[in-house]
Structures are given as C-alpha cells and as structure tokens.
Amino acid sequence: MDKHKQELIGSPSRDLFKYLHKKLSPRLYATDLDFVLIGRAPYRIIGFVDVKKTDEPLTFAEVVGYNRLKEIAPVYIYYTKDVENGPFEIYQYQEGDPAPEPPRYSQKRVAFCKTCDDLENWELKLRGLEDKVVPVSLKSYSTGKALQLADFC
C-alpha cells in the first residue's frame, strides 16, 4: 500500500456523501462496509468487515446486505468501545431476517482481541488459513518429482 493511502484517516468526500444521502428520502435504504479484507496470492476476498460500537445492533439495511455478502465471503463484525486500542470482540455474521422491527439475526463469536496487536495476529491467522491452498499436482522443474507441502515450509 502506498504511503499516502496508509496515512489517510478518512475520506471527507465519502463522509459528506453519506451524510447528505441520509437527508434524502427515507425510502432510500443503504449501508456501508468499513473494510474488505483482500488476499494477494491468490487474489480473493477473504472477508467483509464492519466495525460497530459494543452492543450496537444491526440495522435492516445491514441484515439485507450481509445476507447477500456472506454468499461471497464471511462477514465479520468487530465490536469495540475504542477503535484505537481495543479490545475487539469479533463475530461472524450467520444469517438474518430483515422483516421484523428490529431485524432478527444470528452471529457467532470467533475471536476476542484485547489489543490492536492481537487483532493484527488474528487477521494474519485468518489470512494464513486461506493461504494454505496447494495445487493438487505440483512438480519440480529440475527433478520432475512431485512436491509436497513440506517442501515449501
């Protein structure tokens, strides 16, 4: 990631757009995501992340969106009182029904990260599990011998 993007704290234009969109018709439902976790090798979406205040319930629009997004990749909700320091309770969204008010949904706790370092380690582990996909038949160019997972460790 380039240094400029790494230093950005937010997007004033995005925040202004979201604020102005909320002033439009109440029939224009919308939601946003905070992060999409991306894998580089192979290219893929590892998961979708939404950060919420501790005990903040999911909205109608979030339940509708999460129901579709989980067909692509897991949806994780990071609950915290302090985004700079933690702790973070991480839940994986399971399913939901947006029809009742408030909507009904289920989620499963998958991690508790006391600090930002713990959060980093959890995400690295999550990505590491995704990265252990090994092609069925991989051969050495020099010997022609089939390679095993141990050959890469």
E strands present in the chain: 35-40, 43-53, 75-80, 88-97, 104-113
Between 100 and 22, whose confidence is greater? 100
Confidence of residue 73 (pLDDT cuts 50, 70, 90): very high
Between 32 and 140, whose confidence is greater? 32
Distance CA 115, CA 132 (A): 26
Give tens-digit pLDDT for 42-62. 899 999 999 999 989 999 999
E strands present in 17-149: 35-40, 43-53, 75-80, 88-97, 104-113
The reported pLDDT for the residue numbered 103 is 97
Distance CA 1, CA 19 (A): 28
Average confidence (pLDDT) over 74-103? 96
Confidence of residue 26 (pLDDT cuts 50, 70, 90): confident
Task: Tell me the domain boundaries of the chain.
Answer: 3-152
Span of 40-44, 57-61, 71-75, 121-125 with lowest mean pLDDT:
40-44
The overall average pLDDT reported for the chain is: 83
Q: What are phi and psi of 121, to 5 degrees?
A: -65, -40
The reported pLDDT for the residue numbered 145 is 62
Is the model's pTM score more than 0.95? no
Between 41 and 141, whose confidence is greater? 41
Reading the block at residue 37, the tokens are 């976790």
